[in-house]
Amino acid sequence: MAGLVLTMHFPSACSLLLLLAAASGASAVRTMIPKTSFDSQANFDADWNYNYPWGTDHNGGARMDRNQVRFSNGMVTLTARKVTGQKDATHGGKKIKINYLSGAISAKEHFNVSRGGGYDFSGEFRATTAKGTWPAFWLTAVQGWPPEIDMAEWKGSGKISFNTFNTSSVLSWKDVNYPSPDQFHSIKCEVRDINQRDVSVKFYMDGSLVTTQVGGNFFGKPMYL
Ligand SMILES: *[C@@H]1O[C@H](CO)[C@@H](O)[C@H](O)[C@H]1NC(C)=O
Ligand SMILES: *[C@@H]1O[C@H](CO)[C@@H](O)[C@H](O)[C@H]1NC(C)=O
């Protein structure tokens, strides 16, 4: 089970398109990232950084590179390309060969569920399910780990996965069929305070609730998008 490893995202050797990423506070509703954030470099720079929040490498065989990120007209496209001659990455004390350059972006804002509050994260995605790819739309802890909420990830199996990690070995996961990867699918994730300790996470695909999970002790912990 891929979800049983601590950090799990192989950077995407893939193409992922995101139309509109709107994250709204729940009580006093406000849009944090507008649909227009992929319309121009100035709009992009207001809300997004290139690469992972911690740099260009994570735990897979791809290194993030801003040249693999393209955006216009409300849509961002992340594409991987095969390369040679890159220096190895290091993850968890292990060396990893880099065989691809790929694209990642992260939101400038951090997302911290507060009392009675929460966020909606939504977008339209077209993601490959080709073997060896791992595109992902996910939240992860700013300090330490967890929280991690995988709002949608495609692990190259033909399915789409939705996961919430309490610890590396205690997690909720749901893998479902992912119809027609060549078409756009809408993804929405509602993250809400339950009791000033735990957070509920509702995962929707194409307008239907797929699963509800609970993040233990996620309250008040800032997350990266
Ligand atoms: C994670 O923790 C919350 C709060 O204790 C709990 O409700 C939830 O069931 C836990 N998840 C798993 C997979 O055990
Ligand atoms: C996150 O939210 C909690 C609870 O509302 C608050 O105590 C904490 O200071 C916040 N942390 C950051 C980094 O904003």
Q: Is the CB of 222 under 6 A from ligand 1?
A: no
* Ligand 1 atom having least distance to the Cα of 172: 13
Report which protein residue has its CA nearest ligand 2's atom 8.
Answer: 220
**Centroid of ligand 1 to alpha carbon of 86 (angstroms):** 41
Q: How confident is the model at residue 21 (pLDDT cuts 50, 70, 90)?
A: very low
- 3-state secondary structure labels for all residues of the chain: CHHHCCCCCCCCCCEEEEEEEEEEECCCCCECCCHHHHCCHHHHHHHEEECECCECCCCCCEEECHHHEEEECCEEEEECEECCCCCCEEECCEEECCCEEECCEEECCCECCCCCCEEEEEEEEEECCCCCCCCEEEEEECCCCCCEEEEEECCCCCEEEEEEECCCCCEEEEEEECCCCCCCEEEEEEEEECCCCCEEEEEEECCEEEEEEEECCCCCCCEEC
* Ligand 2 atom having least distance to the Cα of 115: 5
Q: What is the pLDDT of residue 28?
A: 74
Q: What is the pLDDT of residue 189?
A: 96
Q: What is the pTM of this model?
A: 0.90
Q: How confident is the model at residue 225 (pLDDT cuts 50, 70, 90)?
A: very high
Q: What is the pLDDT of residue 110?
A: 96
**Centroid of ligand 2 to alpha carbon of 188 (angstroms):** 24
What pLDDT digit, counting tens, does each position of 89-148 carry? 999 899 999 999 999 999 999 999 999 999 999 999 999 999 999 999 999 999 999 999
- Fold of the CATH domain 4-224: Jelly Rolls (2.60.120)
Q: What is the pLDDT of residue 1?
A: 22
